[in-house]
Every structure is written in C-alpha cells, then in structure tokens.
C-alpha cells in the first residue's frame, strides 16, 4: 500500500508499516523529502528482511541493551564487567537488571561462560561495606553523566544520533572519568549497534552512532614498581585487616604475577598441583594455563588451605570479593604512606622482579605471567634507567630498593623453605630458595 506523507504544522511527516515494523518520521521540509525517505526505508527493510524483536523504532536503547545482554553475555568472559555497564541504563529506565552467574563444572563449555538472567532492580546498586562514602562522592561527581544516560536509556534506537554519543563522551570526561572508562562505555554502545544491524537486521540508524567520535587519548601505560621497603610497610598494614584472606591473597598476587581475577575467580583447590608446584587456571583472561609457584607462593597456599572449613576440592582458593581486596589495598597504602600504588601494579612489580631474578629469560617470563606475546609482556617489565646504570657501573642493587619480592643472594642470610613447602615441592636439601618466607606478608 502506498504511503502518503502529510503535513503537520510547518513540517511533513509519514507513517510506514512494513514487515511488522511501524515507523513514524517527521521533520521533513517538504513532501518530496518525505517521499524520498519513505522509499529509502522501504528499500532497506525489504533488502534486510523481517527484523528480530520490535525493531529500532519501537525499542529504546535500554530495552535493546537488555536483549543484547541476554543473547551475548553468556559467551563473553568479561560478562560481569559488561553487565555493570549495561545495568546503568536498565536502572535509569526502570527495567529489570542483568545478573551474570559464572558457570562451573559440566555446565560450562562450548564457549559459554555465564548464565545470564534478569532480576528485579530497585534503581540502586548494592554497595559493599566500606565503600559507601566513596560511592556517594562518585555519584555527586558523575551527576551530569547519569542524567545523560537516563535520557539515552529512554530514546528509541532509531533516533539515537552520533552527536548524542559524542555528548556522552564529552560529559564523562568533564565528570572525571578516565579515558579508558570512556572508551569502554563507547565500545559497549558500538557493539550493540553493530549487533543490532548484523544479527537483528535493524536498518536504522543508518550509521553506527558510536563511530567517528572524538575520543580522549588512552594513556594507561604503568611503570610503577613497588620496592621491598614499600612492600614491608604496606604488608604491615595488610596484616591488620579483619578479613584473614586479605593479606595472603595480595601476597599471592606478588609471588605469582597473576591478575587479580585469576586466583579470585578461576582457581579452586582442585586446580592446585602440589607435587609439580603449579596451579591450573581453567579459564583465565588469556585462556587456560598453568601458573608456576615459588616456594613462598606454596607457603601461602598451605596457609590458605589450612583455613578451609572442609575438604571440598571445588572450593575457591580465595573466598572473598574483588571489592574487599581493592578496599583493603587502598586502606593499607594510605596508612603506610605509599602513594600512586594500584593493586594491578603488583603484576608489574612481579614481572620486573622475575626479569632481574631470571636474567631476562623472556620465554620463561612469558610462562610465569601468561602473556601471549612478547610485546604484551614488555609492558609489564619496568626496569628503570637507574637500574641499568647500576649494572653498567657494577653497583649492587640494595635490598630496600629492589622490586618487592626480589632478595639478594647473600650467604647465610636466607634460610631454607619451610619443611611443608620442601616436602610439597620435593626440593633437595642443598637447594636454598631466594626469598625468605616471612617476607611475604600473609604467608605466616
């Protein structure tokens, strides 16, 4: 049936119903312009076929994100982080929020990592204990961003334009978001619109509104390496934590160079190979891998093992949350007077320490850190110019200035590993570990 544009005030409009889609467009300067748009849309819809769901004119951004989450998040390793970003829009629109639950055992497989469901939301996000003041300040600082997100959440997908996403990018920067966070927000919206066009056959908007934006430069390179002196101070504060898992958890990160998420989410007690001194990560960020364990790391695991309530092999090695670890680290650094030290810097510190300890053996270092390429690994090896200068002039690296975990090989200074560790790793009596077990806070 022919569509006849009609005049509404000073502009022309039309209504088109085709392949289950009801489209209303207005704002055209004349009837000819409206007719051209009718034909353009008709051709695109006929070429694409019948769209999935209700189409871009009858679906808001929040509704489309909710559907996208149910369809795609089960297959994404970063589903929890992605769901947090999506839930901001769902809460703003008063919709049920997304909950991603990690699949375990036989339930996981064939590239499916999470079970994703919708749960009732009250418009607010649960705030872990100890973070209420931080979240309150964060809410006050990001008020403009939240208002814009609420506006976008209620906007039909077909009516979202490039300048609206650019406004979001600009406002997030004004509200103090880091460039990486702004990039992740833009990436979510870009993926959604690409998915809607390719999978749902949505023909509008014609151009992905999250492309061709002016984005902030992401400069997230870090070269912060904690020294033994700094580690001793922060360790003392970590031992004061009321949660008994905090100190050994953070010490384990330093001793293994693992990402925080790896022992936290991807390692159970069944994954620890005590004879070979390895822990098997079933599905880390870079896939499954075996993590070599130092004698100190073995001591830490022995202590954690003794803290278990039973012998369930499927128990998590670290039964605490990321928020708990991060909050404890922040408090400990503040109390110890350690500045500009993030918990992820422990991975930089460990990589640098092992580089010096193993004389730059890159293939071995790649096994320890789990990086896929040498270029990725090199970002975490932060040997400083003064370190190279010492080597060139034969000056020794002092114990306090060495990267945390690296201890000098001085005769008679370092005792052998504990008897339990020696038995577990089957170390010969004449092998003396490079590190003192008591130097790893939480290992005792």
Q: What domains appear along the chain, each with residue ranges and CATH number?
A: 6-48 (no CATH), 61-198 (no CATH), 228-439 (1.10.443.10)
pLDDT at 260: 92
pLDDT at 49: 73
179-198 helix and 61-72 helix, angle to the nearest 10 degrees: 80
Please enumerate in sequence order all residues whose Cβ is within 8 A of that of 259, keeping only pairs 6 or more positions apart, or say none: 284, 285, 344, 347
Phi and psi at residue 364, to the nearest 5°: -70, -40
State both tokens at 204. 């509008």
Beta bridge partners of 272: 279
Structure tokens at 136: 């309150």
Q: What does the angle CA 412 – CA 416 – CA 419 come to, to the nearest 5 degrees?
A: 155
Under DSSP, is residue 5 helix (H, G, I), strand (E, B) or coil? coil
Q: Cα dist. 62→56, 98, 120 in Å?
A: 12, 12, 15
The mean pLDDT of 194-216, rounded to a whole number, is 92
Element (H, E) at 402: none
- Res. 312 pLDDT band, cuts 50 70 90: confident
- Over residues 86-112, the pLDDT tens digits come to 999 999 999 999 999 988 766 666 788
The DSSP bridge partners found for residue 23 are 16
pLDDT for the residue 135: 57
Place of tokens 């009596």: 429
Q: Is the pTM of this model over 0.75?
A: no
How far is it, in rounded angstroms, from Cα 401 to Cα 390? 12
Q: What number of other Cβ atoms are within 10 A of residue 73's Cβ? A: 21
Pair 152, 90: CB distance under 8 Å: no
Dist. CA 136–CA 139, nearest whole Å:
5
Mean pLDDT on 202-208: 88
Asked if residue 307 has pLDDT above 80, the reply is yes
Query: Cα(351)–Cα(332) distance, rounded to whole angstroms?
Result: 22
């Amino acid at each position: 049936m022919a569509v006849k544009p009609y005049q509404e005030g000073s502009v022309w409009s039309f209504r088109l119903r085709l392949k289950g889609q009801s489209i209303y467009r207005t704002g055209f300067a004349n009837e000819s312009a409206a007719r051209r748009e009718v034909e353009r849309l008709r051709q695109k819809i006929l070429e694409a076929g019948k769209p999935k769901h209700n189409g871009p004119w009858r679906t808001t951004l929040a509704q489309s994100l909710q559907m996208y989450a149910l369809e795609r998040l089960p297959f994404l390793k970063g589903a929890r982080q992605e769901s947090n970003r999506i839930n901001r829009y769902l809460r703003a629109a008063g919709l049920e929020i997304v909950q991603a639950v990690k699949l375990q055992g036989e339930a996981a497989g064939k590239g499916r990592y999470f079970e994703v469901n919708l749960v009732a939301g009250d418009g607010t996000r649960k705030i872990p204990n100890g973070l209420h003041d931080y979240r309150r300040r964060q809410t006050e600082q990001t008020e403009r961003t939240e208002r814009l997100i609420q506006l976008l959440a209620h906007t039909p997908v077909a009516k979202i334009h490039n300048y609206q996403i650019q406004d979001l990018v600009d406002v997030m920067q004004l509200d103090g978001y880091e460039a990486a966070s702004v990039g992740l927000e833009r990436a979510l919206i870009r993926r959604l619109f690409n998915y809607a066009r390719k999978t749902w056959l949505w023909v509008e908007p014609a151009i992905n509104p999250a492309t061709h934006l002016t984005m902030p430069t992401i400069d997230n390179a870090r070269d912060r390496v904690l020294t033994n002196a700094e580690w001793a101070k922060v360790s003392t504060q970590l031992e004061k934590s009321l949660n008994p898992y905090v100190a050994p958890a953070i010490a384990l990160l330093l001793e293994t160079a693992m990402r925080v998420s790896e022992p936290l989410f991807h390692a159970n007690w069944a994954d620890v190979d005590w004879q070979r001194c390895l822990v098997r990560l079933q599905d880390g960020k870079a896939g499954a891998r075996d993590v070599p364990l130092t004698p100190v790391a073995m001591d830490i695991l022995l202590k954690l093992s003794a803290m278990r309530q039973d012998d369930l092999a499927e128990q998590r090695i670290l039964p605490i949350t990321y928020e708990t670890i991060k909050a404890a680290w922040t408090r400990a650094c503040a109390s110890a007077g350690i500045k500009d030290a993030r918990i992820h810097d422990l991975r930089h510190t460990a990589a640098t320490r092992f580089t010096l300890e193993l004389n730059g053996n890159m293939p071995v270092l790649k096994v320890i850190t789990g990086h896929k390429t040498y270029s990725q690994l090199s970002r975490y090896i932060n040997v400083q110019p003064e370190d190279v200068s010492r080597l060139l002039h034969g000056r020794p690296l002092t114990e306090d200035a060495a990267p945390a975990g690296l201890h000098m090989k001085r005769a008679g200074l370092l005792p052998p590993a504990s008897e339990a560790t020696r038995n577990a790793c089957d170390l010969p009596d004449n092998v003396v570990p490079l590190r003192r077990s008591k130097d790893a806070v939480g290992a005792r």
